[in-house]
Structure 1
């Protein structure tokens, strides 16, 4: 895992010191620490070279959920809290992970691996030129069959199982969309929601949805939904 540049927002002194220590022990570079939300929000208003944010939910002035929603998926964000009830709202707002206090080193390591898997293609060495169709295995009964990536419309993850869609829904051996992206770094796959990865060439239609989202029609008539952060990325990729 390469060195991650991380900012931390945590208003409790002991919790902040513990999280910073764990992140540094994991090899991260701490570029800033904030004790309230408004200062972080103002700091983020300027361009920053940042790989991730660790946000406490309950902070003075501006809470972590509000900051997360303002990011629109631009920066991977991990929410930290002592309370589990905000998890659904956090992931709906495209949180990369949700850590319950007290945070352990092993659980933090899993969060950092998720962040690393979502870094841009510049973080992945370029593969050698392909000599034929790019294929991947899917489960079929007690064995495996191989599917061409060019026939695939999208991948979705559910309960840490990745399913591929190529005319039908098929179970793969991957456990995260980050693993799919790492397997095909030159394929141009695009994350349009925290649980959806599409092949932009399979898009045949697009229409707006409430809240800045978008309904995306794919080859074969399947329609999926792009999140508020994913919809602008898709429009940019399609040249709209």
Structure 2
């Protein structure tokens, strides 16, 4: 990693998952050149990691260590994405968050709600849509997904694998909701209730490993993506 001389097994495993996450999100068309995923440093909870490169056909991509004021650890390391400040504030607000993802998505001003059992992260009441210009700087909604007016969305989770899983199925859920509105003549489709969201949230956690293994195998078969970090250390069973 770019910001420290000694790379521990946990840090290498985190780097493997972080690079896989970037590849998978692009392969699944959740993100294009504009979008970024990060994770909390497993060796230092006051830092988080992002890849500086915006290219996906990278080998041994450089992970940039950032403090919670979004300053780079190591003066010679490039700063990378400007949206690192959004990542930083979420890590500060939620100590239990170990990974987050921020894509740039089209918006229709309609709150997303859970339509399917693989998207419980949206909740039963819908993800909030807010304009940061109208909110005090101390407020951050306590939701796994935040829709950012005119910008995109921010997704947080307990691991980078979880955040990839949630982000992909949030995208699919939005498609289901749109199709339901069109087929219903403009009437909002039924959403999962709170009990269903809670139950499916527990179930969804058991599905992440299966989906992750498939997605890693898929991106490994495509020449655009290379994760040769995996040759140096095996990822942990639970992921980061």
Same-fold call, TM cutoff 0.5: no
Greater RCO (CA < 8 Å, at least 6 residues apart): 2
TM-score (ref. length: structure 2) = 0.29
More strand by share: 1
Larger Rg, first or second structure (1 or 2) = 1
